[in-house]
Structure 1
Amino acid sequence: MEAFKLVQWGAPGQYVDVPKPQPGPGEVLIRMKAAGLCHTDLDMVDSQPGSEPFANSFDAGYILGHENAGYVAELGSSVTDLVVGEAVVHCEAFRRGAICMTRGCGLDGGLAEFLVVPRTEAISIVDGDPVVYAPLTDAAVTAYHAIQNVVQRLKPGTSAALIGIGGLGTYGVQFIKLMTAARVFAVDNAEGRLKVARDVGADETVRFEDDGKRASEQIMSLTKSRGVDAIVDFVGTAETLKLAAAVSRPRGRVVLLGMQGGTLGVSWGLLATSCEFAISLGSTRQDLREVCALVKQGKLRVDVQEFSFDNVQKAYDQLRAGSLVGRAVVVSP
């Protein structure tokens, strides 16, 4: 079968012919329909041999694609609660706090005709459209898990700031609006993404300029110098982390998702009194079930830009350039 593989670190992926996988006991063979693309893929492609966090953890030579959805093609022995032809998404719970091998990240992923996964990692969406559900398996569910870190703080009269309104941040805005009555500030450096934030419910949009200084001043002015109760940073540069610290109110909470390698100095006077800081990585299968339920109920907007399997590199190029409209999803016939 044809697959799109990361053959070596620091080089673009390549189309290769590989054997069709076969399901073992307790496994499911998925005929791939949709695979979402992610900035993490670009981070892996750009990794130099031996570099952190990927190339020092596992070897290149695996099929990319970690946002996967399709149809059951074959069941391994002992799998009796799915049927051939049923639509499923793949969910592999990430180990928090460290990079580990997952499908599409060290292990063969879904940019191929078929994918084998353990039954425990296949979640039925019955007759749902895999193209819509594929981005939920990482972008949406990772944002959902992070928002769960702050929802208890967001009572009526409180506010939250989301920094970075890309594939994850757009979902983050929606989850906070669905689950809380908080006032939402969306922060980004691109007007197009701020427009999307307004479209999905953000109450205030703030342009990230001058390394965040102007955004900090604007948020503090709009909150009458009170600051915000919760900040979720989907970027993770030194500048965005500095902004997060600057706008937090006392006893606030900052949650970091972005993996851009920024650092934040923590000391008296650098962070609001009793402000908490957390790093959120990955999600759980229950998170994914709940996110899928929101889509089925029509409560979550999912924007995708479809690409054919022979245009995977084009999709990655547009992802790198920031010119996508919605989440890039590679769709198989």
Structure 2
Amino acid sequence: MKAFKLVQWGQPGQYVEIPEPRPGPNDVLIRMRGAGLCRSDLDMMDSPPGSAPYASSVDPNYVLGHENAGYVAELGANVTDLGVGEAVVVHHLPHCGNCAACTGGHENYCQAFKRGAIATGRGCGGDGGLAEFLVVPRTEVISVGFDVDPADYAPLTDAAVTAYHAVRTAVQRLKPGTSAALIGIGGLGMYGVQFVKLLSSAQIYAVDTSEDRLKVAREVGADSTILFQEKDEGKAAKDQLMELTQSRGVDVIVDFVGSAATLQLAARISRRQGRIVLVGMHPGAGSTLEVGWGRIATSCEFAISLGSTRQDLREVCELAKQGKLRIDVQKFGFDQIPQAYEELRAGTLTGRAVVVFPNPKTGADASLQGPVYLHSKL
């Protein structure tokens, strides 16, 4: 079967022929319907050999694609609770189930798959979903029913659920009268705004360098939007946020960018007993934050959030099925993967890029004459 692989570090992905995978007794064979593309895919392809965090941690020559959804094509002999043709999504982080993190309910920090600052898995060290079929252990598959198109759920499996997990780690602080700032309203930040709105009554401040993305933030629930100006390293944004909070600072700050400038902004607007959650892994040197007296609010916590749990994904899919999430998708055919990555790199996408495959239930060809857009709630 045809697949799209990262063959060598520092090179674009390539179309290759690989054998069709077969499921083991505890596996599920998935006929792919949708595979979301992510900025981290570009970071992997751009990585010089031996460079951190990717090329120093895993070997190349794997199929890309870690936002995966499709239909059950075949079940392993021991799998009895799914049906062929059932729509499913795949949790983006594998786990061993045995380490202290897994048995403690934190499988996103599984020690067996940890490699430096990253976690290996499908589309990052192992074969992902940019191919016709994907084999996944049953424990990492979640059903979304028989009556949905799983392609629309693909972005939920990483972009949405990673934002959900980050917000959940701080939501107990978001009582009435508190505030949350979401920095970076891209593929993850747009979901972050929605989850803060759904899970709390906090005032929501959205921060971005793009007026277009700030417009989206207002549409999905932000109370105020703040333009981050790179020329002043966010000093004007800091002043505006401090004015909005009557100089008290922001209770919860989630940084989906992770650059030196956005981390500095987070520290400057932090509040005592608050929490800063770092999600974004900005490429390049200097993306660090100096902490100490006078640099960050006293007693403010700082945490790095990685991925999500399977329960997080189950809850996000349920919110989507209830029509409570806006999902913006820009669809591409399998033969348009290089074009999709070019648009992702250029920042011209109007939704999360999703590569779609033929629908086995309708026989429809996935070849698209240009991208198709979905801007709606499921």
Q: TM-score, normalised by structure 2?
A: 0.87
Question: Where does structure 2 lack aligned partners over 5 or more consecutive residues?
Answer: 94-107, 359-378
SS at match of 1:215: helix
Name the structure 2 match of 1:237. Answer: 259
Between the two structures, name the one with larger relative contact order (CA 8 Å, sep ≥ 6).
Answer: 1
Say which of 139, 150, 153 aligns to 1:133.
Answer: 153
Q: CA offset at residue 100 of structure 1?
A: 2.5
Name the structure 2 match of 1:114. Answer: 133
Q: Write the letter of the residue equivalent to 1:297.
A: Q
Q: CA offset at residue 236 of structure 1?
A: 0.4
Name the structure 2 match of 1:193. Answer: 213
Q: How far, CA to CA, are the matches of 2:289 and 2:178 in structure 1?
A: 24
Name the structure 1 match of 2:96. Answer: none
Correspondence 1:1-333 to 2 at 5 A: 1-93=1-93, 94-95=108-109, 98-127=117-146, 128-209=148-229, 210-260=232-282, 262-333=287-358
Kept in 2: contact 1:63–1:104 (CA 8 A)? yes
Q: How far, CA to CA, are the matches of 2:26 and 2:320 in structure 1?
A: 28
Name the structure 1 match of 2:104. Answer: none
Q: CA offset at residue 148 of structure 1?
A: 0.7
Q: Deviations over 1:272-306 (max 9, x none)?
A: 11111011001000000000000000011111000
Q: How far, CA to CA, are the matches of 1:100 and 1:233 in structure 2?
A: 20
Q: How far, CA to CA, are the matches of 1:222 and 1:81 in structure 2?
A: 51
SS at match of 1:167: coil
Q: Deviations over 1:101-151 (max 9, x none)?
A: 200111000000000011111111112221211100000000000001111
Count of residues paired in the alignment: 333
Q: How far, CA to CA, are the matches of 2:224 and 2:347 in structure 1?
A: 23
Kept in 2: contact 1:103–1:110 (CA 8 A)? yes
SS at match of 1:302: strand
Q: How far, CA to CA, are the matches of 1:95 and 1:113 in structure 2?
A: 29
Q: CA offset at residue 92 of structure 1?
A: 3.9
Query: Structure 1 vs Structure 2: percent identity of aligned residues?
Result: 70
Q: CA offset at residue 95 of structure 1?
A: 2.7
Kept in 2: contact 1:57–1:100 (CA 8 A)? no
